[in-house]
Amino acid sequence: MLKSLLSVLALGVAVGAGFAADGPIAEISNGLVRAKVHLPDGRTGFYRGTRFDWAGVVSDLEYSGHNYYPRWFDRVDATIRDFVYEGASIAASPCTAVTGPAEEFRTPLGYDEAKPGGTFVKIGVGVLRKKDAAAYDSFHLYEVVDGGRWSVRKTGSAVEFVQELSDAGSGYGYLYKKTVALTKGQSQMVLSHSLKNTGKVAIRSTVYNHNFLYLDRRPPGPDFVIRFPFEIRGAEVPPMAEVRGKQVGYTKILSGEDRVQMAVSGFGAEAKDYDIRIENKAAGAGVRITGDRPLSRIFLWSIRAPLSVEPFVNVEIQPGGEFSWKIVYDYYTLPTDRR
C-alpha cells in the first residue's frame, strides 16, 4: 500500500521527555520475525535527532521468543549531549535516543565550507543550519532547514523509504532509497540501500551502523561472545574485555557506569570480512551481520545496556553516479547454558 508523502518539518529547539514516543510506525512480519519500523516525521516521529538516518529505525524485533532491539534508554533530555546514567535509568540526548540497527553518514556534506548561518547536508536527515564556526559535532541538535521529500511504501513484510533532497546553497543533492525487509521463510532481515548523487558536487562520506543490540535486555558480560572471520590484530584491549584470536569477550558483566569500547583491526580489503556474529549462550540466541562492501573500520561500543558492533563503509559518488550496499541480519537460536 502506498502511503502519502510524509511532511518532514523543521526541527524545533525545545525537546521534552515525550520526544521518544513511538510516533508513526509500520509493523512488519514474515511469520518468523516481527518488528516495528519507525517512520520519519518531523513533528511526532520516534527519532528526530540530526545524527542518525531517519529511514528504517527498527525496534522490538522478535524472533523465537527473543527481543533483539528493545529500547535501551528511559527518557530523552535535550540538555544532555550524549547520554547519562540516572541510578537505574539512562537518559539520552535527542541525537542518541535511537534503537536497533541505526545508520549514520558520519561525514556531513559541505559543513567545513559553509559559513555560520549557512547550510550543509546530512544524508538521511536533510539540509541543516550551521550554527557557528565550531567543528561539526554529531551530538549537537542542528536546525533542520529542509527535510527533503520523503515517501514511504509498506507491505506486510517490508517498508521502503525514499528521500529526495537538493540544497542549492551547497550544491549537494541526492536520491536515497532504503528498504527494510524480512525474508520469506527465513529468520532474516535485509537492509538494502541505494544513493544517487543528483547534485553538482561529489559525495564523500562514511556510513556505519551503530547496531544497538540489547538482546532480551541482557547487559554485556561473559555470556556474550563476538566472532569475526579474521584474526584480531593490534587492538588496544580495554579493561573488562579480552581478545581470543578471532573473538572478543567480556571478563565481567557491565554495570553502573562501566563502558567497553575498542577499535577492532585485522580485517582485509574484501567484503568477506564484513561478517560478525554476536551470541549469548545463556539466552541461547545470536545474530549474524554480513555486508556486501569492504570495511573501512570496526568499532565496539558497549555499556550496561546495548552492545554495539559498528561496521563502517566508505562512500564516494561523483555527480550522476550511484552507490548501493546491503546489510543482512540472520537471527538464530543455540543451546542454552544452564549452569
Query: Residues 26-69: pLDDT tens digits?
Result: 999 999 999 999 999 988 999 999 999 999 899 999 999 999 99
- With respect to residue 171, please indicate whether it lies within any of the assigned structural domains: no
- With respect to residue 152, please indicate whether it lies within any of the assigned structural domains: no
Q: Which residue carries 556534506 as its cell?
A: 109
Q: Which residue carries 535516543 as its cell?
A: 97
Q: What pLDDT band is residue 338 in, cutting at 50, 70 and 90?
A: low
- With respect to residue 145, please indicate whether it lies within any of the assigned structural domains: no
Count of structural domains within the chain: 1
- With respect to residue 242, please indicate whether it lies within any of the assigned structural domains: yes
Q: Are strands 285-291 and 275-280 parallel, antiparallel or unpaired?
A: antiparallel
- With respect to residue 37, please indicate whether it lies within any of the assigned structural domains: no
Among candidate residues 229, 258, 232, the one with its CA nearest the CA of residue 243: 232
Looking at residue 22, its pLDDT comes to 80
Give yes or no for residue 14 having a pLDDT over 90.
no
In degrees rounded to 5, what are phi and psi of residue 216? Answer: 50, 30
Looking at residue 243, its pLDDT comes to 97
- With respect to residue 275, please indicate whether it lies within any of the assigned structural domains: yes
Cell numbers of 64, please? 523465537
- In terms of residue numbers, what domain contains 258? 219-333
Pairwise CA distance, residues 52 & 110, whole Å: 17
- With respect to residue 270, please indicate whether it lies within any of the assigned structural domains: yes
**pTM of the entire structure?**
0.93
Q: What are the Cα distances from residue 61, in Å, to 92, 298, 304? A: 21, 24, 20
- Helices then strands, counting H and E runs in the chain, come out as 0, 25
Among candidate residues 224, 218, 301, 303, the one with its CA nearest the CA of residue 264: 301
Looking at residue 235, its pLDDT comes to 81
Identify the weakest region by mean pLDDT among 13-17, 168-172, 329-333: 13-17
- With respect to residue 207, please indicate whether it lies within any of the assigned structural domains: no
Q: In the predicted model, what is the mean pLDDT of the chain?
A: 93
Q: What pLDDT band is residue 180 in, cutting at 50, 70 and 90?
A: very high
